[in-house]
Amino acid sequence: MTASRWVLTSCYGALLILSIVLVARGSKIGLISGLFVVVSLLVIWRESRQIRRNRNLGNRG
């Protein structure tokens, strides 16, 4: 992994841990931010899969 991916992964991990701690304390902001982090990670994961799929299809033809 490149350095930028490590930074991005560690930032998302820290935000996810922070939101879990806030939810454990009963904070609604933690729940909302945790949902936002999970949704954004799913969107990034889906787009990266689509990019890889398009790259693999482009190399076949």
Sorted by where each begins, the domain ranges of the chain are: 3-60
Predicted confidence band at 21 (pLDDT cuts at 50, 70, 90)?
Answer: very high
At residue 56, the pLDDT reads 78
Alpha carbon distances (Å) from 44 to 1, 6, 12, 28, 40: 16, 15, 12, 24, 6
Distance CA 60, CA 55 (A): 9
53 CB neighbour count, 10 Å cutoff = 10
pTM for the whole thing? Answer: 0.67
At residue 25, the pLDDT reads 93
Predicted confidence band at 9 (pLDDT cuts at 50, 70, 90)?
Answer: confident
